[in-house]
C-alpha cells in the first residue's frame, strides 16, 4: 500500500498508518519532491510518472494507492494512466478539481505546515496538534509514542518551501479530472472527515458518485486530516475495505 502525501506533508504524516496497518499489508510512503529548473515543468503528469518510477525501483507489480488531499490527484492520475498497477484507490479528503474558493483560503484549509506566510489564514494544523497534545485523555493521541509522532509530522511539514507549495497549488488549480472519473475501474474507497469544509464533503460525494466501483466512508469527529486525528477509525475503515473489496486480488 503506497501513501501519497498532501500539499505540505512528508512521508512521516502516515506514521499512524505504518503502526496500524502493518499487519494487513506492506505500507510504503514517500516524499513528493522534485528539483526542477523551471516551475512550468512541475506538472501532475510528471509527479505521476515519478510514482511509476518508485514502483520500478521497489519492483512493485501492483499496489493499493492512497492519496491525501493534493496526493489524491496523483493517486487518481496514476490509476488512470496505470490501471494494471493499481489494485485499489483510497482517496482521503481529496477532490477531482480545485474547489471554487480563493487560493489563499484553499491553501490554509489543506496545508499542515504552519508557514509564516500562512499565519493570516487562521489556526495552523501545527497549532491544532499542539492543542490536541495538551488534552489529557485516554485517547490514542495521549500515548507518548503517538505524541512524538504528531510533533515529528508537524515539524517535518514545516520544512516544505514556499516555492514547492506554490508549484503544487498551481497543479491543483490546473487539474480537472472530473470527466475522467468514470474511467477509474479500480475499487475505490473515498474517505472524508465529517467536520471538513463543505467543499471537500461535496468533492467526496462527487468522487463516490462518479467512480464506478466506489464506496464512501465519513469519519466522525474529524476534518481534513482525518487519517491522523482519528487514525483509529481511519485504519479500521481501510482494513474493512481491504477485506471486503479486494478479495479478488488475493
- Mean of the per-residue pLDDT values of the chain: 81
CATH number 3.40.50.1820 is the correct assignment for the domain at 2-101+163-245: yes
Entry field: residues in the chain? 250
**Residue bearing cell 481501510:** 238
C-alpha count within 13 angstroms, C-beta hemisphere, residue 8: 28
Report yes or no: 133 and 155 within 8 Å, Cβ to Cβ: no
pTM score of the predicted model? 0.82
Question: How many angstroms separate the CA atoms of 59 and 250, rounded?
Answer: 18
β-bridge mates for residue 190, sequence order: 91, 216
37-95 pLDDT tens trace: 555 678 999 999 999 999 999 999 999 999 999 999 999 999 999 999 999 999 999 99
DSSP annotation of 50: H
Q: CB 101: neighbour CB atoms within 10 A?
A: 13
The domain ranges of the chain are 2-101+163-245
| Per-residue model confidence (pLDDT) at position 148 | 57
155-209 pLDDT tens trace: 666 667 777 778 888 899 899 999 999 999 999 999 999 999 999 999 999 999 9
Question: How many angstroms separate the CA atoms of 49 and 77, rounded?
Answer: 10
Amino acid at each position: 500500500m503506497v501513501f501519497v502525501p498532501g500539499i505540505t506533508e512528508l512521508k512521516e504524516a502516515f506514521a499512524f498508518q505504518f503502526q496500524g496497518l502493518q499487519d494487513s499489508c506492506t505500507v510504503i510512503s514517500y516524499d513528493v519532491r522534485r528539483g526542477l529548473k523551471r516551475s512550468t515543468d512541475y506538472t501532475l503528469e510528471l509527479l505521476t510518472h515519478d510514482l511509476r518510477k518508485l514502483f520500478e525501483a521497489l519492483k512493485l507489480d501492483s499496489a493499493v494507492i492512497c492519496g491525501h488531499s493534493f496526493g489524491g490527484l496523483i493517486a487518481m492520475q496514476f490509476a488512470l494512466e496505470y490501471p494494471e498497477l493499481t489494485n485499489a484507490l483510497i482517496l482521503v479528503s481529496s477532490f477531482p478539481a480545485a474547489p471554487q474558493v480563493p487560493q489563499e483560503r484553499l491553501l490554509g484549509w489543506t496545508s499542515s505546515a504552519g508557514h509564516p506566510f500562512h499565519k493570516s489564514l487562521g489556526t495552523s494544523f501545527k497549532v491544532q496538534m499542539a492543542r490536541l497534545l495538551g488534552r489529557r485523555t485516554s485517547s490514542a493521541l495521549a500515548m507518548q509514542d503517538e505524541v512524538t509522532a504528531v510533533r515529528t509530522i508537524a515539524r517535518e511539514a514545516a520544512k516544505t518551501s514556499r516555492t514547492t507549495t506554490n508549484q503544487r497549488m498551481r497543479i491543483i488549480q490546473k487539474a480537472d479530472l472530473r470527466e475522467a472519473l468514470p474511467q477509474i475501474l479500480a475499487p475505490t474507497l473515498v474517505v472524508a472527515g465529517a467536520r471538513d469544509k463543505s467543499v471537500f464533503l461535496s468533492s467526496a460525494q462527487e468522487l463516490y458518485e462518479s467512480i464506478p466501483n466506489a464506496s464512501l466512508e465519513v469519519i466522525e469527529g474529524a476534518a481534513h486530516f482525518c487519517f491522523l486525528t482519528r487514525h483509529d477509525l481511519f485504519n479500521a475503515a481501510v482494513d474493512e475495505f481491504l477485506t471486503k473489496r479486494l478479495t479478488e486480488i488475493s
